Amino acid sequence: MPMFEFTCAECEHEFEELVRSRGSDLKIACPKCASKKVDRKFSVFSARANSTAPAMPSGSGCGRCGDPNGPCGM
């Protein structure tokens, strides 16, 4: 199941939600205020693989916490 990021149009709370099917995101409600006025955010896909690729430059990595090993799962 894909995970999508949403922003509540009422309280501006940002949250993630597992979406089971294409129409399921119409039923998503904000966990903070229960509003159904939510907008899906553009998410960046990330995958981890073993390779001999050059190391990422300092200061890059997770867009939320800055962990150079990738997404932190926040």
**Domain locations along the chain:** 3-40
Residue 14, pLDDT score? 94
Which pLDDT tens digits describe the chain residue by residue (74 residues)? Answer: 678 899 999 999 999 988 877 666 568 999 999 999 999 887 666 666 766 655 555 555 666 666 667 666 55
Neighbours of 38 (CB within 10 A): 21
Whole-model pTM: value is 0.53
Residue 70, pLDDT score? 66
Amino acid at 12: E
**DSSP codes joined into one string, 6-56:** EEETTT--EEEEE--SGGGGGG---TTT--S-EEEPP----------PPPP
Residue 18, pLDDT score? 84
On whether the CB atoms of residues 12 and 39 are closer than 8 A, the answer is no
**Region class of 48: left (phi > 0), else alpha (psi between -120 and 50), else beta:** beta
